[in-house]
Structure 1
Amino acid sequence: MRFGRAAGPKRSTGRRVTPRGWRNRILAVGAAALALPIAAGVAAPTVAIAAPAHSPVLRAPAGGFEDLMVPSVMGPIKVQVQWAARGGNAALYLLDGLRARDDRNAWSFETNALQQFGNDNITLVMPVGGQSSFYTDWYSPSNTNGQKTTYKWETFLSKELPAFLEGYGVSRTNNAVAGLSMGGSGALALAAYHRDVFKYAASYSGYLNISAPGMREAIRVAMLDAGRFNVDSMAAPWSPAWLRMDPFVFAPQLKGLPMYISAASGLPGQFDKPNSAVGAFNTGNAMALEALSLVNTRAFQARLATLKIPAQFDFPAQGTHSWKYWEGELFKSRNGILDATGGW
């Protein structure tokens, strides 16, 4: 795992290295010492002195997988990365769902996303954490679960992370973003408000009409269930922040953006085979969540049609709110992602 800004593996370049002096050596030792507590439990982390901002650091071997610790206003954020197969500068940001974990991004182990893009010239960027965040900038820490830090995920994903990855040769401007459920609306919002960073967006089973009657209340309940987060810390009741987060409202800002948007019917399909009472309960929840996503997504489709904004839509006849279906939707959007970024 790497720490700090664009810390790269040691390689022989044949260039003469100029001594940095005692002051820089002391700073480097201090940075390494600060990194040690974060690296507990991680085998042999590589900590190196940051390179000048104007010169990308040599990255991991092309196509390699790596965990990075990226500085942010929220503190260090873990980001899992699969580097482009041939060193290209394109990137695909993959956003997690409401129950995002603190150890791994679920795209990296619940799906075959790494294999899907393993031979492509595009870097997969999978940020870790952000449970119930909707990948937006909050007003304050949640006061219902003892949260210490205010979520600032939009700032991280649109500014801090692209700037950090630029040190590895990943472009700040040649990126796609895709997400499921909570990450679906988050992906569209990032692309709408940061067109200079993202040139393609995909939403799988997203909630794309969150100002519809009952949606804010549903989100409140869901966030309490997923980590006991207080939705009012994200957006105060009836504040403009709600409208800013709503794809149905900011839809005009998506004009000219290539998009892939999907939601299934909620009817059980090939991946729904519960064999216990708990399994049946979970399948029932997944059916209801997907049906709600379908209603939202159909409304968003009508909204785009009214605005004469084209997008690629997919509405499978079967499928619930679960990972194997999103794996398939990622594959269906793969060509559009690679076309938009030149990541072939």
Structure 2
Amino acid sequence: MKRDEALIALSRMTLWLALFSLLAFLLVATPRSNAAFDPVGVDFWVDSDMGPVKTRVFRAADGNTQRVVYALDGMWAREDLNGWEIETEVARTLTENNINVVLPVGGQSSFYMDWDRPSYLPEGAVSDIAGDSAPDIGPGKSYTYTWETLLTRVLPAALHERLGLSPARNGVIGLSMGGSAAFALAAHHPAQFSYAASLSGYLNPSAPGMRGAISAAMVKAGGYNISCMISSPTSDKWQWMDPMFLAPALLRNGTELWVSAANGVPSEAGEPSKQAAEGSALETLSLTNSRSFQTRMTSLGATTVTYDFPSSGVHAWTYWEAQVVKMLPVLSGAIG
């Protein structure tokens, strides 16, 4: 009994240390570098409740319209290009494997949800490393975020009507913030998404301390208020975004899942040392969340989940790009 209590205490201590490290990281986190625009992509605009929204579309090499994958960005999502295009060659890799790629642009700190109301900066909060307040206008502030509606109704309908892309049996891949969002979208929209991948995602946002950590991250990444996304931590809407609660639905839907997170230890092929140090705490927390999700799915008897926990790696694009290459055989067989 004492041994079990000691193990529980150690587990809690590990989680709190990871959360503390995450908050420390957020104080020095910086946005990404300059964009690497790919001229092969096409700007695809749709009108929505949020106004005109841009998506970048990359067509499959063989011209098919049935095999489609959405790739979701992280918390620092920008308004010019999706991070997958900025930082990786994933769009090129997938199109060469005869997969159409859809890269939504924007959605900073949104978790790709329909929010309760427009965001405002919490009183006394500081939003960036310079110590200045974030603007109170702009994406998700001048209007209410409605990203789930966009991704599951507006955008797929427009892609089908104008480009012929199938709105059924798509894949959705997300990193970090986009990881939990990918699973939530798949759980609630099984006809659209038959495959979902979480790369360094936060799959247990209801764990002790996680709401506070996510709240701090949202403030730093653009000055967003978690209470405007979900008014109350006891709201049913919190469960709407939590993969731990959505596990039975994902199992019932037969969704093919990919879960990956590394251990926070940089490898020789990883990011430069400063970025590796900053990404280590985030990856450690993601691994804790992902392992909890694994335990949950295993207890339900799930057989449609692939887990990949590399022995080294941090919260960085190098590792996420490698994961997409690794998942290609499973992904290819689950969509279209």
Fold similarity call, TM over 0.5? yes
Say which of 86, 93, 103 aligns to 2:80: 103
Whole-angstrom distance in 1 between the partners of 2:50 and 2:293: 32
**Amino acid in the other structure paired with 2:250:** L
Q: Is the 2:205–2:211 contact (alpha carbons within 8 Å) kept by the matching residues of 1?
A: yes
Q: What residue is the counterpart of 1:87 in the other structure?
A: 63
Moved over 3 A (4+): 271-274
Say which of 243, 247, 258 aligns to 2:256: 258
Are 2:299 and 1:306 equivalent residues in the alignment? yes
- 1:19-68 CA-to-partner distances (Å, cap 9, x unmatched) read xxxxxxxxxxxxxxxxxxxxxxxxxxxxxxxxxxxxxxxxxxxx952111
Normalised TM-score (structure 2): 0.79
- 1:183-238 CA-to-partner distances (Å, cap 9, x unmatched) read 00000010000001111100100000000000000000000000010000001122
**Amino acid in the other structure paired with 2:206:** S
Say which of 227, 230, 235 aligns to 1:235: 230
Are 2:106 and 1:112 equivalent residues in the alignment? no
Whole-angstrom distance in 1 between the partners of 2:278 and 2:249: 33
**Amino acid in the other structure paired with 2:296:** R
% same residue:
47
Whole-angstrom distance in 2 between the partners of 1:187 and 1:251: 13
Structure 2 residue runs of 5 or longer lacking an equivalent are 1-38, 122-134
**Amino acid in the other structure paired with 2:268:** Q
Q: What residue is the counterpart of 1:330 in the other structure?
A: 324
Are 2:42 and 1:66 equivalent residues in the alignment? yes
Whole-angstrom distance in 2 between the partners of 1:301 and 1:265: 15
Structure 1 residue runs of 5 or longer lacking an equivalent are 1-62
Q: What residue is the counterpart of 1:293 in the other structure?
A: 286
Q: Is the 2:270–2:319 contact (alpha carbons within 8 Å) kept by the matching residues of 1?
A: no
What SS does structure 1 have at the residue aligned with 2:51? Answer: coil
The alpha carbon displacement at 1:108 in A equals 1.0
**Amino acid in the other structure paired with 2:301:** K
What SS does structure 2 have at the residue aligned with 1:69? Answer: strand
| More deviation, 118-127/202-211 | 118-127
Structure (1/2) with the larger helix percentage: 2
**Amino acid in the other structure paired with 2:148:** E
The alpha carbon displacement at 1:284 in A equals 2.2
Whole-angstrom distance in 2 between the partners of 1:76 and 1:271: 39
Q: Which has the higher contact order (CA 8 A, sep 6+)?
A: 2
Q: Which of the two has higher C-alpha Rg?
A: 1
Are 2:178 and 1:158 equivalent residues in the alignment? no
Q: Is the 2:262–2:284 contact (alpha carbons within 8 Å) kept by the matching residues of 1?
A: yes
Q: Is the 2:77–2:108 contact (alpha carbons within 8 Å) kept by the matching residues of 1?
A: yes
The alpha carbon displacement at 1:117 in A equals 1.6
The alpha carbon displacement at 1:273 in A equals 5.3
- 1:96-152 CA-to-partner distances (Å, cap 9, x unmatched) read 001001100011131111221232322100000000000111000102152101000
Q: What residue is the counterpart of 2:220 in the other structure?
A: 225
Are 2:131 and 1:135 equivalent residues in the alignment? no
